[in-house]
Structure 1
Amino acid sequence: MMVAVCGPNEATPEEAELAEAVGEALARHGCTIICGGRDGVMAAACRGAKRAGGVTIGVLPGYDSRAANPWVDHVICTGMGEARNAIIVASADAVIAVGGGLGTLSEIALALKLGKRVVSLGSWALEEQRLARQAARHLYRHAASVDQAIKLALAGVSKASPT
């Protein structure tokens, strides 16, 4: 199973700590991490995954593979800028958002539009009323801890599900 970990390139220490724990926990569950491959939340998630022996994929906005953080196993250079977010979430079976700005919000929105499970761990608090009018309302969940985020992300997603 492939899980996207999304969040800001410039993470707070708390966001980095959460992302690293998320990456490690996902790797222990046998998941591959896919992310934007840069710094901040992305680097922390990859670092955690590598510590647990996991596999990481970084989908970069530019053409230079050297821009990837050192914990990325497989680099995909897109030259697409922020549009690379579509590749990240379309490739994932589920998404965990840790903190985040507008780039993270775009990943959340697109993932929901694609019918992907999205878990917010200190990320965007989408209005329940507005989301209730959307078909994807059952896909978006808030987690209070890393363990809860992992359980919510993996719940109902088959390891054999197509990406």
Structure 2
Amino acid sequence: MKKNLCLLLAIALLQGCNQKQPIAEEGTIEQAANTSTTYGAAFEEENVIPASELVKAVADKDSLQATVAAEIKESCQAKGCWMDVKLADSSNMKVTFRDYGFFVPLENLEGRQVVFTGTAKREVISVEDQRHYAKDAGKSEAEIAAITAPKEELRFIADGIILK
């Protein structure tokens, strides 16, 4: 009896493994869904504003809750703990991840599209922090030493991102 039961179980298992999976045709929704990866909190891509409009949207506010679409210019090569995205005026905005709760891949993400949600705000960035980010980005010692003054810039603390 045990032999028959084991044999039936083995046949059922092998039959299940032999099932063909449907292949998504090129350009289908299934394939598009597989090209994006979410890091951090999951969110819906609703009311998304382009990074080019974010500067105007936050101009008269201390901070702004937003979901933003942008192109990655550079990312942290040490841990994956930040990324710079392009703004309208060819400047960058540093995107960090709330409470270091998640990280992006260490691969070169330059040129990839990303959607992120969280809080935008203006901050004064110390020389020490600027040098830290420059080191994480793999900048030369000369480039790091050239950072000598704090600067104010638009920053974003992301709760979640979708990497396209």
- TM-score between the two structures when normalised by the length of structure 1: 0.21
| Greater helix proportion | 1
Q: Which has the higher contact order (CA 8 A, sep 6+)?
A: 2
State the structure with more CA Rg.
2
- TM-score between the two structures when normalised by the length of structure 2: 0.21
| Greater strand proportion | 2
